Structure 1
Amino acid sequence: MPGFNGDFHFKKALDMLVRGVFPSIGKLPVRDITPAPVLDILTKTVKRGAPTVAAEAKRTLSGIFELAVATLRADNDPVWPVRKALPANKTQHKTALTTAQIGKLLNDFDNHRYGYQVNFCMQLMWWKLARPSAAAEAEWDEFDLEKAVWRIPAQRMKARKEHVVPLPRQAVEMLKGLHAITGNRKHLFPGRDDRNAPLSAASLRQALKVLGWSGAYSPHATRTSGSTRLNEMGYRPDAIEAQLAHAEPNSVRRTYNHATYLDERRVMMQAWADKLELWKQEVAGEAC
């Protein structure tokens, strides 16, 4: 959009929407965009079977226009009049994978023909029970391999609070090997088309589709699966919630959790990484 520059929080979402949105309205001055083309974009997205993408596009576009109005680049938000024209996007709760399914999934990734980056990213996500974007967009300066910790900065966390993650032995070994390949880059997993940008989380979904996991597993189900299995392994819910970076409403308790559970989480996540290896080996043994 000509004349619409500036550093704002919507850049990441804009990058995701360039293909779907900019071809139709990208060349228009932001002040000239009306509700009709916005509704057309969102409706077409829903009709092609992507209601979640449409909902995200609606929120993102509205945020852009709100900023445009606040900075006197536009007179109104054209999303507002059509905001209720789309069907409600119902949240689908992710089903936890069984231990056998987890082993098969990770074993499939070990043996696929995709690049090492997709495999390592999937492994890191499971070792840490991180959100797909947190793993895919990880940066080298967030890691201290000597202390075996990963400090995800606040700006990359959903709750906008720094999250300290203990690294199991397997993750440290993998990262040391990876550093010899991409350590001169900003990101652990540089993008395929732009090596200065991170790997897209969409690459994980594409790999899942090729491997036959599409529909049976979503990367977002990793955390649900981890939480379920760690509870079965007998670990305290408070430590599991702290590992998943779920917000604690009580500020005193939140501070206590952060200070107390790191050592407990370190033991827990090493045991988790060991279980992942065991489940992979069991699947591999059955295949022989």
Structure 2
Amino acid sequence: MALTDAAVRNAKPNGDKAYKLSDEKGLYLIVTANGGKWWRLDYRHDGKRKTLSLGTYPETTLKEAREKRDEARKAVSQGIDPSRQRRVSKLKERIARENSFENIAKEWAGRQANRWTPDHHDRVVTSLAADIFPELGEFPVNEITAQDLLKALRKIEARGAHETAGRVLQRCGAVFKYAIVTGRCTYNPAADLRGSLTPVKVTHRAALKASEMPEFLDRLANYDGHVQTRLAIQLLMLTFVRPGELRGAAWQEFDFDLSEWRIPAERMKMRDEHIVPLSRQAVDVLHQLHVINGAYPLVFPGANKPHQPMSENTVLFALYRMGYHGRATGHGFRATASTILNELGYNHDAIERQLAHAPRDKIRAAYNRAQYLPERRKLMQDWADIIDGFKNGAKVIPIRRNG
């Protein structure tokens, strides 16, 4: 006789033993000694008697248990073992969770430790966590379509962050490439989205022209802010390193006997040690800084936390204060030096090497690690002398090249 909802609902424990209430077609309810109610289905597959769990009551009602029974019996009639089918399904679900876009993206980012600085790693993961993980993070990486990805990118564009959308697309493309080579998917949807985003007008970081240098140097000499900030700007101009490389500078990186600053690979954008020959003027600035900060490991310690670098906005805000908002940035000194030195006819490759612009050819990059160093020593001293010349009203006269 078939069970009823009332019979299932009113079934009570019977002593210390579990008992069974039968329904139809192999379905029955186990009532345990502590009052638990478990749906079970007995069936035969390949001549063997097997039992399948169909859930608990009241989470699974009598009607739902019968629907599950019918699905299982249909599978059996097709030669499928529903118990094995369930195990396979759970395995697929587990693999899908493990191979979610978020997990693969974090794995990919973690593999870049020998190429990225910790700050860059954090920026990449943070951007994905903010803009992609909420939309696609839980999706299995092999199920994401170009339309799925475009929908997420359109939300970034909708807030006007077109440049961010482009960077996120590039990073997603790298994640999919990694998933492909590691066997987790076969298709890179990011590749199909080239040209689908709003083009971004490239705006270079504000940089001073040669004609603006005399006035800038005069304002810097009369800067009334913290002396450490003024010296930081001076050293940034003299060495044209990246602002982050300057902020993290430690005294142990400097060899004053050789007049050399060796920035360790882990602090460089391209993860390769960088040699900065120091001009006499740069050494003088460092001696002034040592009087102020020589007791600390860092050349530019933070005001409130001396064992951490000064704020990344210190130089930029000082330039604002000097009247150069939108006209100059810390990073812009690199462009200023590059432009002037190239105009004066200095070896372009030596300039690029001093800027730590890595060649695309990895073999060439390894070969050029210290290439042009003697020439770069002269270059850096000449550059410091050129800056001094600006103070005295000297002008840059570009060299005209043939061809």
Q: State if a TM-score over 0.5 links the two structures.
A: yes
4+ runs of 1 displaced by more than 4 Å? 7-11, 13-17, 41-45, 50-60, 86-90
CA distance in 2, matches of 1:218, 1:89: 21
Offset at 1:130? 0.9
Flag the 1:239–1:194 CA change in 2: closer, same or farther, 3 A.
same
**Corresponding residue to 2:211 among 87, 92, 100:** 100
**Corresponding residue to 1:126 among 214, 227, 237:** 237
Q: Deviations over 1:68-120 (max 9, x none)?
A: xxxxxxxxxxxx9xxxxx96654312465322312322321221111112111
CA distance in 2, matches of 1:182, 1:108: 24
Contact 2:117 2:268 in 1 (8 A): no
CA distance in 2, matches of 1:186, 1:160: 22
Pairing of 1:263-274 with structure 2 (within 5 A): 263-274=374-385
CA distance in 2, matches of 1:194, 1:90: 39
**Corresponding residue to 1:255 among 367, 373, 376:** 367
Contact 2:358 2:365 in 1 (8 A): no
The higher-RCO structure (CA 8 Å, 6+ apart) is 1
> Counterpart of 1:118 in 2: which secondary structure?
helix
Structure (1/2) with the larger strand percentage: 2
CA distance in 2, matches of 1:110, 1:147: 28
Identity level (%) = 35
| Structure 2 match to 1:67 | none
Q: Deviations over 1:205-242 (max 9, x none)?
A: 11111221011122222111111111122211111111
CA distance in 2, matches of 1:98, 1:267: 22
Q: Which has the higher Rg, Structure 1 or Structure 2?
A: 2
| Structure 2 match to 1:174 | 285
CA distance in 1, matches of 2:217, 2:163: 27
CA distance in 2, matches of 1:53, 1:187: 33
| Structure 2 match to 1:116 | 227
Flag the 1:95–1:180 CA change in 2: closer, same or farther, 3 A.
closer
Contact 1:108 1:211 in 2 (8 A): yes
Q: Deviations over 1:12-34 (max 9, x none)?
A: 369989xxxxxxxxxxxx99xxx
Contact 2:207 2:335 in 1 (8 A): yes
1:231 matched to 2:342: yes
Pairing of 1:1-288 with structure 2 (within 5 A): 12=119, 90-94=201-205, 97-248=208-359, 249=361, 251-252=363-364, 255-256=367-368, 258-259=370-371, 261-282=372-393
Q: What TM-score results when the alignment is normalised by the length of structure 2? A: 0.52
Q: What TM-score results when the alignment is normalised by the length of structure 1? A: 0.70
CA distance in 2, matches of 1:171, 1:120: 10
Structure (1/2) with the larger helix percentage: 1
CA distance in 1, matches of 2:164, 2:294: 33
Q: Deviations over 1:164-206 (max 9, x none)?
A: 1100001111212211221121211111232111112311111
Letter in 2 for 1:176: H
Moved more, 176-185 or 166-175: 176-185
Q: Which runs of 5+ in 1 are unaligned?
A: 1-6, 18-29, 32-37, 64-79, 81-85, 284-288
CA distance in 2, matches of 1:150, 1:163: 8
CA distance in 1, matches of 2:297, 2:163: 30
Flag the 1:252–1:14 CA change in 2: closer, same or farther, 3 A.
closer
Aligned residues: 277
